[in-house]
Structure 1
Amino acid sequence: MNRVLPLAFLLALSAPAFGQAVDAQGAKQLSDELSRYVGKQALNEGILKISAEEGAYKITFDVKALVAKMPKQDLKRFDFPPVTLRVKPRSDGGWDVASDFSTTGSIEVNGPNGLNTGQIVVKDGKFTGVYDPELAAFTSGTSSIAGMTMTSRQVSQLTDLSVGLGSSKFDARKSANGGVDLNFTQAMADFVETVKIDDRSIAALRAPELAVNVTAKAIQTKPLLDLLAFAVAHEDEARMKADQAEFKTLLLGALPLWERIDGTYAFKNLAIETYAGNFGAAQLNTVVGMDGISKDGKISYAFKVSGLTIPQQMLPSWTVALLPTDLDLNFGGANIDLDSMARKTIETLDFSKDPPLPADFGDEISADFLAKTPKFVLGHSTVKNGDIEVAMEGEMTFPDKKPDANVTIDVTGYDKIVASLQEAAKTDPQASQAFTGALAILGFAKTLPDGRVEWVINARHDGSVTVNGAMLKGPDPVVEDNTDQDAIPGEGNNGGAGAKLQP
């Protein structure tokens, strides 16, 4: 029950409204519909209440009452007010939904090292939206807050987070490929997070603007609701065993869960204050994207920074001119076959056995996954400073559990790097070493027609490494069982590493 109740408000609206009259009979009908997803116990014990008031249904979720029914364990105190929704039937079968989610709450938990506490305050929280039971999603919605603060204390560490005005907007529509397409945007002002340890400030993160953008394609909302209803109706272990065939059918019907989800967090004029100095960025974006459970899935991560500033007091003076000011880093995975893993797991699952999956199933499915040659991908990435730009891209696979990697590195302005190091080498031994290394690395480079220098690096699972087609290191020798105490180093089981670059 405690797992499904947080979804109660949405699921309570799973029956089409079609302008029905708001009365006690309608509240009873809505309660019966809701019980499919949360169980009748929650309604019987007052954790969830539905009543007809002033032309709308009032749905109340008493979080404190729910927690009181759970095992106490290490929870010392939980104090949050009930959350309420006002829902009104629409003539098109949807529901108008509104809520004031302003709140003040706190929690205390006995941790292994002492008492942990948390507090949250949300000021003037408002939400309105239109829910479509056929899509099992909001077709539109907006929310806003006047401000929010969160405080967490764990023995010697104190974390404070606060934001000012905030707003969000979202909408959904039927996907061409089944399921629901979703767009969500959020904006927050005056984001501040500070961390103290033993009352000493360790870090403070500040941004006057924070924006979030999420898009999702083909989320399987209805099949997921069917799974939830099945789980609530089969809390009894014997019933689950008897109906596990139906459960597997529902699981398969929910695949691939979604087609694609992409999200971006964007900070503007970010400042990070630390004991080691202050960092900053005019713009910092983190981007995450992932396919659903598919045969050829992709995962992508991106970290983009412009106007980067780095504390200089702890760095040699000659490095300052070479510090990056802009980053665009892209990496992720490809050829990820989660579909075969999921289907094989569902097929093998048997609740009549203990455990439901064979003991060696994890090793078996891991071997199957690697046999499909998943790939780590370094997308086109750049590190810039003025006229200097380092660009890189490549990929890596793991045949025989050993890496095969291909990486290309291009540098614009390498002559400026060398010149800067050469000048600094006159007075700084560290710069002199870096200058020598830069010259040695340049010896392996290929100069392109536009003046860039390039290194194409190929590393094979046999241990060999080539740079621009030239062998830098040969394959590792085959390791043989040689217990001869007089064996010459470099032979037998001592092996050899081949030629190495010596700057």
Structure 2
Amino acid sequence: MRHALSLLSIAAFTSPALAQAIDSNGASALQTSLSAYFGSTVFDEGAIRIVPSGNSYRLEADFNAIMGLLPGGASFDPSPLLLDLKPLPDGTWELANTLRTSGWFDSKVPEAAMSANWSIANGQLKGTYDPALAAFSSMKMSGGAISLTMREPAKDTQVTIGKANIEMQAERSAKSGIDISATQNLSDFVETVTLRDEGTELQVMLQAKRVAAQTTAAGLQSKPFLDFLAFAVANADPAKFKAKQAELKTLLLAAFPLWNRLRGDQQWYDIKVITPFGTFGAAKVEVTGSLDGISGQSTASYRGQATGLTGPTHLLPAWAVPLVPSDIDIGLGAKDLDVETPLLTLIAAFDLNKEPPVPDDVGELMQRDFLDKQPRLTIPRSTMGNADYRIAVEGEITVVDEKPALRAVVDLSGYDKVVEATKAGAVTDPTAMRIYTSLLALKGLAKTKPGGLLQWAIETRQDGALLVNGTMLGSPDPKP
């Protein structure tokens, strides 16, 4: 239901609010506007209705009727979704809805058999849709005592949330498109997954006191997205779609770069993961990711951080317990990504009237286009450790002529503590012995920095040579 609601919300009011009085003519005009994005069938069959209701229009969506228009077998709670759509003097639309307190869904499709039911207390949705932005200029959604249960042949999932609040804002971007920001806050999040296999069950429970998320999109091309949706609906027949592929390519190019910059952040607080093997925990887990739009020099980044890590120690040998990290901070990035040139090559080459639609050699051309800019994989300073030791790494991998080259620096503090732990275990444990002897060998290659920090500068070259702190450990590949 959540996804269906989002789809309705995004495409609902693509024309400016109607100036005339709320009446059947206005409802008919709004239906015509919506038909460009949903097709006329859902209205002709009564799956979606728009009727005057006081000083607004009421949209009624019957999901059972909608599913009846699709292949497969699925049914919804027969109660329709109701949205109140009020035209405002400035051409925008106000949307309001008191979310249903409960509902259910049941799919009988063999490859996607699933049933679900949900409930929510005091659920509210309110927003303002601006056709000039092709997006909500503002939106708020809230609710409490949320419960969702999903049943599949081999898995059951139950989610409960104490309170949920979601807010979103959008405004025109300085250059093109729109800038969107959204926040989400959940309290008392609990997810229980039960897996079934040949008569056995495995249950895992995730608990978090609070979950927060922030999303921003700069320069999002919302209008070209809707133009493409309208084209797809108007040309749903394969023959029409093929006949208008020149227009299709124009619409695809108009959507470039999709967005300028997309970023998402998520934080989980006071986490517990309860399993049959014991309870794992973390004080905080944070994940951050960003991605440029389509360009000849895009970048991407990812960072995952966890602090206050805990877990059952009975799963480990005694010598390894002092080496369990209490915190982890890992980052990855990419630079000089030419995403635009390969996609332009693909769009120019495909022809839906031929078989195959994309010539066989296009894949190789796209790969060459991508590698010509010498993309780089970056490792920003990443660390792992506890109060006794810490290992850190940062570096970069560059691809030239389809051959990678690596430059990285690895630091280790608390070397003596690590050696002490592995030495104690080496007496009886072959794994500890291998780690212990490797550590002794690695120290001979290290540079000792102030404070006893050990450092290894690692370099692999395109010719296959391997160097550590300037000492060649691997010779270049033989020349052909």
Give the deviation of 1:394 after TM superposition. 1.3
Q: Structure 2 vs 1, CA of residues 384 and 217 (structure 1 numbering), >3 Å: closer, same or farther?
A: same
- Following superposition of structure 1 onto structure 2, how do residues 425-444 of structure 1 map, counting pairs within 5 Å? 430-444=431-445
Q: Structure 2 vs 1, CA of residues 478 and 4 (structure 1 numbering), >3 Å: closer, same or farther?
A: farther
**Structure 2 match to 1:279:** 280
Give the deviation of 1:392 after TM superposition. 0.8
Q: Structure 2 vs 1, CA of residues 427 and 246 (structure 1 numbering), >3 Å: closer, same or farther?
A: closer
Q: Residue by residue, what CA displacement relative to the aligned partner does 1:288-308 show, whole Å, maximum 9, x if unpaired? A: 211111111122111100101
1:67 aligns with 2:67: yes
Q: Structure 2 vs 1, CA of residues 249 and 197 (structure 1 numbering), >3 Å: closer, same or farther?
A: closer
- Following superposition of structure 1 onto structure 2, how do residues 190-209 of structure 1 map, counting pairs within 5 Å? 190-198=188-196, 200-209=201-210
2:140 corresponds to which of 142, 157, 163: 142
1:157 aligns with 2:146: no
Give me the whole-angstrom Cα distance separating, in 2, the residues matched to 1:110 and 1:234.
27
- TM normalised by structure 2 equals 0.91
**Structure 2 match to 1:99:** 97
Q: Structure 2 vs 1, CA of residues 4 and 363 (structure 1 numbering), >3 Å: closer, same or farther?
A: farther
1:389 aligns with 2:390: yes
Asked if structure 2 preserves the Cα contact closer than 8 Å seen for 1:4 and 1:228, the reply is: no
* SS of alignment partner, residue 477 of structure 1: coil
CA RMSD of aligned residues (A): 2.5
**Structure 1 match to 2:110:** 111
Give the deviation of 1:425 after TM superposition. 5.2
Give the deviation of 1:192 after TM superposition. 1.2
Asked if structure 2 preserves the Cα contact closer than 8 Å seen for 1:104 and 1:122, the reply is: no
Asked if structure 2 preserves the Cα contact closer than 8 Å seen for 1:86 and 1:98, the reply is: yes
- TM normalised by structure 1 equals 0.87
Give me the whole-angstrom Cα distance separating, in 1, the residues matched to 2:296 and 2:9.
34
Q: Residue by residue, what CA displacement relative to the aligned partner does 1:86-128 show, whole Å, maximum 9, x if unpaired? A: 111112211111122324112133536x954333334432100
Give me the whole-angstrom Cα distance separating, in 2, the residues matched to 1:375 and 1:336.
8
1:332 aligns with 2:333: yes
Q: Structure 2 vs 1, CA of residues 93 and 150 (structure 1 numbering), >3 Å: closer, same or farther?
A: same
AA in 2 matched with 1:83? L
Q: Structure 2 vs 1, CA of residues 202 and 220 (structure 1 numbering), >3 Å: closer, same or farther?
A: same
Q: Which runs of 5+ in 2 are unaligned?
A: none
Asked if structure 2 preserves the Cα contact closer than 8 Å seen for 1:8 and 1:34, the reply is: no
Give me the whole-angstrom Cα distance separating, in 1, the residues matched to 2:236 and 2:57.
29
Q: Structure 2 vs 1, CA of residues 420 and 107 (structure 1 numbering), >3 Å: closer, same or farther?
A: same
**Structure 1 match to 2:31:** 31
- Following superposition of structure 1 onto structure 2, how do residues 13-52 of structure 1 map, counting pairs within 5 Å? 13-17=13-17, 20-52=20-52
Give me the whole-angstrom Cα distance separating, in 1, the residues matched to 2:412 and 2:119.
50
* SS of alignment partner, residue 303 of structure 1: strand
Q: Structure 2 vs 1, CA of residues 120 and 4 (structure 1 numbering), >3 Å: closer, same or farther?
A: closer
Q: Structure 2 vs 1, CA of residues 130 and 5 (structure 1 numbering), >3 Å: closer, same or farther?
A: closer
Give the deviation of 1:402 after TM superposition. 3.9
**Structure 1 match to 2:263:** 262
* SS of alignment partner, residue 64 of structure 2: helix
Q: Structure 2 vs 1, CA of residues 230 and 471 (structure 1 numbering), >3 Å: closer, same or farther?
A: same
Q: Which runs of 5+ in 1 are unaligned?
A: 480-503
Give me the whole-angstrom Cα distance separating, in 2, the residues matched to 1:307 and 1:30.
54
Q: Structure 2 vs 1, CA of residues 294 and 450 (structure 1 numbering), >3 Å: closer, same or farther?
A: farther
**Structure 1 match to 2:447:** 446
* SS of alignment partner, residue 232 of structure 2: helix
Give the deviation of 1:310 after TM superposition. 2.4
Give the deviation of 1:54 after TM superposition. 1.1
* SS of alignment partner, residue 42 of structure 1: helix
Q: Residue by residue, what CA displacement relative to the aligned partner does 1:38-83 show, whole Å, maximum 9, x if unpaired? A: 22222111122111101111112222111111122xx365546422
Q: Structure 2 vs 1, CA of residues 20 and 160 (structure 1 numbering), >3 Å: closer, same or farther?
A: same
**Structure 1 match to 2:184:** 186
Give the deviation of 1:195 after TM superposition. 2.0
Give me the whole-angstrom Cα distance separating, in 2, the residues matched to 1:228 and 1:432.
61
Q: Structure 2 vs 1, CA of residues 382 and 80 (structure 1 numbering), >3 Å: closer, same or farther?
A: farther
Give me the whole-angstrom Cα distance separating, in 2, the residues matched to 1:314 and 1:10.
49
- Following superposition of structure 1 onto structure 2, how do residues 333-352 of structure 1 map, counting pairs within 5 Å? 333-352=334-353
Number of aligned pairs? Answer: 474
Q: Structure 2 vs 1, CA of residues 81 and 462 (structure 1 numbering), >3 Å: closer, same or farther?
A: farther
Give me the whole-angstrom Cα distance separating, in 2, the residues matched to 1:354 and 1:425.
63
Give me the whole-angstrom Cα distance separating, in 2, the residues matched to 1:413 and 1:191.
37
Give me the whole-angstrom Cα distance separating, in 1, the residues matched to 2:113 and 2:55.
46
Give the deviation of 1:144 after TM superposition. 0.7
Give the deviation of 1:442 after TM superposition. 0.9
Give me the whole-angstrom Cα distance separating, in 1, the residues matched to 2:145 and 2:4.
29
Which is further off, 49-58 or 374-383?
374-383
Q: Residue by residue, what CA displacement relative to the aligned partner does 1:304-330 show, whole Å, maximum 9, x if unpaired? A: 001011221011212222211111110
**Structure 2 match to 1:83:** 81
Q: Structure 2 vs 1, CA of residues 383 and 105 (structure 1 numbering), >3 Å: closer, same or farther?
A: same
**Structure 2 match to 1:490:** none
* SS of alignment partner, residue 146 of structure 1: strand
Give me the whole-angstrom Cα distance separating, in 2, the residues matched to 1:192 and 1:176.
41
- Following superposition of structure 1 onto structure 2, how do residues 167-246 of structure 1 map, counting pairs within 5 Å? 167-198=165-196, 200-246=201-247
Q: Structure 2 vs 1, CA of residues 87 and 478 (structure 1 numbering), >3 Å: closer, same or farther?
A: same
Give the deviation of 1:444 after TM superposition. 0.7
Q: Residue by residue, what CA displacement relative to the aligned partner does 1:233-270 show, whole Å, maximum 9, x if unpaired? A: 22233433443322222211110001111112211000
Asked if structure 1 preserves the Cα contact closer than 8 Å seen for 2:261 and 2:293, the reply is: yes
Give the deviation of 1:426 after TM superposition. 6.6
Asked if structure 1 preserves the Cα contact closer than 8 Å seen for 2:74 and 2:105, the reply is: no
Give the deviation of 1:182 after TM superposition. 0.8
Which is further off, 470-479 or 390-399?
470-479
AA in 2 matched with 1:367? R
* SS of alignment partner, residue 314 of structure 2: coil
- Following superposition of structure 1 onto structure 2, how do residues 306-321 of structure 1 map, counting pairs within 5 Å? 306-321=307-322
Asked if structure 1 preserves the Cα contact closer than 8 Å seen for 2:18 and 2:26, the reply is: no
Asked if structure 1 preserves the Cα contact closer than 8 Å seen for 2:104 and 2:115, the reply is: no
Which is further off, 243-252 or 327-336?
243-252
Q: Structure 2 vs 1, CA of residues 396 and 159 (structure 1 numbering), >3 Å: closer, same or farther?
A: same
**Structure 1 match to 2:55:** 55
Asked if structure 1 preserves the Cα contact closer than 8 Å seen for 2:67 and 2:75, the reply is: no
AA in 1 matched with 2:142? S
**Structure 2 match to 1:121:** 119
**Structure 2 match to 1:484:** none
Give me the whole-angstrom Cα distance separating, in 2, the residues matched to 1:385 and 1:9.
47
